[in-house]
Structure 1
Amino acid sequence: MEKHYKLKNILTHLIESVKKQDFLVYFRKISILEISDSHVVFGTVSSFMKDNLQAKFNTLVLEASQKELGKKITSISFLVDSSIDNPSNTNAVDCQEFYKETLKSNKIADKKSRNSVSPIEQKAGAHMRYTLNNFVVGADNQLAFSACEAVSKNPGKSYNPLYIYGDVGLGKTHLLQATGNEILKKYKDKKVAYTTADKFITEYVTAVKKRNVERMREKFREIDVLVIDDVQFLSKKEQTQNELYNIFNLLYDSNKQIIISGDRAPKELTELEPRLRSRFEWGITVDIGKPDFETRLAIIQEKAREKEFMIPQEVAEFIAANVTENVRELEGVLNQMIAEYELTGNTPSLTRIAAKLQKLSFTTDLLGESRSAARLKNTRTIKSYEDILDAVSQHFGIEKEGILGDNRKKEFMIPRQVSMYLLKTKLNYTYERIGNIFNGRNHASVLYSCNKLEKIIKKDKNLLYEVNAIKDGIGI
């Protein structure tokens, strides 16, 4: 029983330093097999779990063991305990049950209270994993990132308010929370409030019911930085909009920083009050676009690094080439791949990820043709614009130099327009970037070519077929 008692104390220390999800997944069930003068042997349910604990949590488990057993413990190891599921094994602990019990008995110190901050500040620090350092910067989010960086250095002085907009899953929440976290880190005396539009609505409705709206205003008046995510959800909430208008004025007049995100530019949020929309535009408005191939690849590699997961380069490139909509989808595919590895031991491969995308993805492309990711298994990975140019060149039987050149004959114009169109719609390259590839053509010229091809393929089914054939051949 002494081992059981010591193990529980070690686990209590671990809960303080290990994320809840990691604790419940990786520790699951554990025992102490042996305690010697300087070494502890832990038992696990399987060799797979043993390897993961050894690779990912060895240092943390050693530190927790030293807190309980003293610095004399200099090493630990993990072995498979064949009797761990036996009811008579009194040294084993079910970590899921233990976690619940520990929460109930208040053995875990609330991390928020340990920071000695107000309830508002706690919200800003709730997701400390979001930082400006681990935000992957690309061509389509560079301006938004730079604006957030500037605001974090001089809150209330540079770009106030800061309004960031873009589609779902492109990193707005990461940037907002990272900026709040950066301000808290640089300015220990600042109070930062992070909230979503939905939470703001709930807080206001509750304040109205309890007749303490003024108290709510006082709370917001005390903060130095207000961060509001997904402001579009305030649509048709007239009273809540009015309250935000009042709070906005209070903070702005006091030179307090305001950071807002939405899915559209302020002028397009037509269901918000005009006076509120106009205030959102008082500072700087920046957008976040869909990441291009290089940025998607960098995001996958960064997320894998954060999760301490080794992903083969060819698999990372395959995902980046075929999961193109947003960052959230990229991370979702990566998480499923990690889960499969942790549960089955299957290492990532092109075959497995193609099968995974087949199950997860069924999209309609911009040309109106529905296609399943099942086709991806038989296609090659797109790494750069060169791959698209090679595919178009091969399909139409002309040299790449002809596609990139200035010859205005139809046999060159069509392949050139197809190439530009695919670079824009499938690799999310900017018009400027495409222009640079095509010997310095300007933005307007590339835009015209893309629009021209889109109009042609709506009428010319033969050309539409050819474009789809190129896409199928390269897996986009």
Structure 2
Amino acid sequence: MGETPVSGINHELWQACTDQLAQQLPEQQFNTWIRPLIASVAPDLSKVTVQVANRFKLDWVRAQYAARIAALLQKISGQHISLELAIAPREVLTRPTQLIRKIESAELAEPALLAMPEEVAGTGFKNRLNPALTFDTLIEGTANRMGRAAALHVASSLGQQYNPLFIYGGVGLGKTHLMHAIGNKLMVDNPAAKVLYIHAEQFVSDVVKAYQRKTFDEFKERYHSLDLLLIDDVQFLANKDRTQEEFFNAFEALLAKRSHIVMTSDTYPKGLIDIHERLVSRFDSGLTVAIEPPELEMRVAILIRKAETEHAVMPEEVAFFVAKNVRSNVRELEGALRKILAYSRFNHKDISIQLAREALRDLLSIQNRQISVENIQKTVAHYYKIKVADMYSKKRPANIARPRQIAMYLAKELTQKSLPEIGELFGGRDHTTVLHAVRKMAAERQRMTELNQQLHVLEQTLKG
């Protein structure tokens, strides 16, 4: 059966699939492996053919993403879809536009997605830095103040203190922005410096290519000669023994020549799973800083600043409305802003709370439907491995009382329930008990990094 290009009538199916993958995957991983894919869809939606640049990438996409893509296509279309992977003909790869994007995406495309890798003048060496991601374009707040200060110090005094710098936190909190900011500042101060920004999956890919082509000398020359290595999402090195071995060698070589290493991860060094102990020890030997979810005022500032960059005016009351409803990370804030600006432009209406409510109605309805006190209790109980019934019981051992307090705190943060209503849903407890739990968890979240990470995971789980 013939197929139509993705730009045809069935474009929306592939667009919806990639939109969901963009939410589920780290940004650099999505940009490296999913964004370049070219899809064509059968008229009856029975088959989707995805074209990949070369054999290596085809094997990697098949192993890592094909099952997820097929499942998403089936979920979105409501019918079984056959997924086929193929190597794209050369003329297809040279098309100036690989995918037709929605108008609002084209108008409000992320600088990170538009910037091309920079080259060090006269060397042909691509540093992969995004020049739009600098310290000047980074909104500072309590959530990232320590990380920003450490990053500035590294950029200003390479190879001295805080080596390596290990930055960790949840998805979409600005870890990648900080790394690019370090690299960009160094390039301004020292244009001849050899800097490389890379995602951990690309490092894995480079190791595999060096194996296949027997080019380990070139591989080592590339990585061991750097002045600054910026590597994103090191958790993706898990279970890859040879890659970890090569990364350890590069790590040691760079430290020996007083080059600097900056890494990001979704968890702190000792929380990494299936990473060799000697690597974890190296990760933990410099400075480790956490990037927290942005507080309300910081979210408001981010929205207003990003609206300005799009030559739009976002009234403060609208920014507060959006910030109160989108709490988890900067990426979700930017997605909400895109929808509002596109809705405003298409309908020729000024930005207001009512317009924001209309533009975000799907997001708000999903939140209202999913985040109930009952759902919070089930999620927290599962996370801390206690019974849901313990949420309502009078039992008070620490392994039960603490998760119960956490669930009360999340109920106050994520629902519109009053303190008495929450108390009633936790076995008829007084509202003062709930207030005590909320205040205690809020205070401990500020000073206990591990608790803050746990709460962030729970919040993201509850928001789907």
Q: How far is the alpha carbon of 1:415 from its aligned partner?
A: 5.9
How does 1:131-170 map onto structure 2 within 5 Å?
A: 131-170=134-173
* Cα shift readout 1:66-119 (whole Å, capped 9, x = no counterpart): xxxxxxxxxxxxxxxxxxxxxxxxxxxxxxxxx959xxxxxxxx9767762545
2:362 equivalent in structure 1 = 359
Change (3 A) 1:300 1:194: same
1:234 equivalent in structure 2 = 237
Q: CA–CA distance in 1 between the matches of 2:341 and 2:173?
A: 21
Q: CA–CA distance in 1 between the matches of 2:230 and 2:189?
A: 17
Question: 2:120, 2:126 within 8 Å by CA — same for their partners in 1?
Answer: no
Pairwise CA RMSD: 3.3
Q: How far is the alpha carbon of 1:121 from its aligned partner?
A: 4.1
Q: How far is the alpha carbon of 1:412 from its aligned partner?
A: 7.6
1:330 equivalent in structure 2 = 333
Computing the radius of gyration from Cα coordinates, the structure with the larger value is 1
1:190 maps to 2:209: no
Q: 2:248 aligns with which of 245, 257, 264?
A: 245
Q: CA–CA distance in 1 between the matches of 2:152 and 2:119?
A: 27
How does 1:74-93 map onto structure 2 within 5 Å?
A: none
Letter in 2 for 1:345: H
- Report SS of the residue matched to 1:123: coil
- Report SS of the residue matched to 2:197: strand
Q: Report how many residues are paired.
A: 294
1:219 equivalent in structure 2 = 222
Letter in 2 for 1:322: N
1:346 equivalent in structure 2 = 349
Change (3 A) 1:179 1:113: closer
Change (3 A) 1:365 1:280: same
2:315 equivalent in structure 1 = 312
Change (3 A) 1:411 1:274: closer
- Report SS of the residue matched to 1:291: coil
Letter in 2 for 1:339: A
Q: 1:116 aligns with which of 106, 113, 121?
A: 121
* Cα shift readout 1:424-462 (whole Å, capped 9, x = no counterpart): 6xxxx55487xxxxxxxxx79xx9xxx9xxxxxxxxxxx
TM-score norm. by structure 1 comes to 0.56
Q: 2:304 aligns with which of 276, 297, 301?
A: 301
Q: How far is the alpha carbon of 1:413 from its aligned partner?
A: 3.4
Letter in 1 for 2:286: G
Q: CA–CA distance in 1 between the matches of 2:118 and 2:244?
A: 31
Q: How far is the alpha carbon of 1:306 from its aligned partner?
A: 2.0
2:262 equivalent in structure 1 = 259
Letter in 1 for 2:147: A
- Percent identical across equivalent pairs? 31
1:413 equivalent in structure 2 = 432
Q: CA–CA distance in 1 between the matches of 2:285 and 2:211?
A: 29
Question: 1:168, 1:326 within 8 Å by CA — same for their partners in 2?
Answer: yes
Question: 1:120, 1:194 within 8 Å by CA — same for their partners in 2?
Answer: no
2:207 equivalent in structure 1 = 204
Q: CA–CA distance in 2 between the matches of 1:139 and 1:345?
A: 37
Q: CA–CA distance in 2 between the matches of 1:366 and 1:178?
A: 39
Change (3 A) 1:205 1:319: same
Change (3 A) 1:189 1:366: farther
Q: How far is the alpha carbon of 1:189 from its aligned partner?
A: 2.1
Change (3 A) 1:335 1:236: same
